[in-house]
Amino acid sequence: MSADTPTNPSDGDAEAMTETELRDRVEELEDSVAQLKADAAAGQKKMTIIATKGTFDMAYPPLIPASTAAAFGWEVVVFHTFWGLDILHEEKSKNLQLSAVGNPNMPMPNALAALPGMDRMATRMMEKRIDDNGTATVEELIDVSLDQGVELQACQMTIELMDYDDDDFYDDVVTGVGAATALQHMTESDVQLLV
């Protein structure tokens, strides 16, 4: 080992390498860091969203970022499980309900909100707002997401649990997938969200 190598003499591993070897190693590492940076810059970003809720208001939080990320050219997977599956259910998605109970922002007391028909009324109010405001409907968001190449997955375990059929879902919805597939996508993703 040369005298000018600034390493701790007690460090056995460093002593085993000559200065030339160290320089070569540093160059090698610099090259691989540059390569990784280039790969990351050129590589497509990926996002996985797990959608677990099926109320009217909770259909938007997974679908808005999914369609927007797709517009950015990201590869997006939304894995719908439990009540989140209703968002992909062609019939049920058109009748998602907003709960009037348990939302402190609702302009009515819980005791009143619990009365029959209140959920429907709250849903109608929200639907009217969405219509007046020109906000996309759930159906439109699903269409545009699929159109942009978002992969909408329906959890197979939940399909069986809820006794749904593959034909109940929108065309192009991916069925026959489970938690393992979702996990694999999450591992490969830059962004993972649970909604």
The span from the CA of 153 to the CA of 88, in Å, is 9
Name the residue type at position 101: V
Q: Which two tokens stand for residue 164?
A: 């749904």
The residues near 145 (Cβ < 8 Å, ≥ 6 apart) are 63, 66, 67, 70, 76, 78, 152
Instruction: Determine the distance from the C-alpha atom of residue 126 to the mean position of all C-alpha atoms in its chain, rounded to a whole number.
Output: 25
CB of 71 to another protein, least distance (A): 4
Residue from 21, 147, 166, 188 touching another protein (CB under 8 A): that is 147
Paired strand residues for 46: 75
Residue from 64, 121, 174, 193 touching another protein (CB under 8 A): that is 64
CB of 67 to another protein, least distance (A): 5
CB of 75 to another protein, least distance (A): 14
- Taking residues 83 to 122 in sequence order and writing x for each that binds another protein by CB under 8 A, - otherwise, the string is ----------------------------------------
Q: Which residues of 122-136 are buried (b: 16+ CB within 10 A; e: fewer)?
A: bbeeeeeeeeeeeeb
Instruction: Indicate whether 136 belongs to the interface with another protein (CB under 8 A).
Output: yes
Half-sphere exposure of 97 (CA within 13 A, CB side): 8
CB of 144 to another protein, least distance (A): 6
Q: Which of residues 21-60 bind another protein (CB under 8 A)?
A: none
Instruction: Indicate whether 71 belongs to the interface with another protein (CB under 8 A).
Output: yes
Residues that bind another protein (CB under 8 A): 64, 67-68, 70-73, 134, 136, 141, 144, 147-148
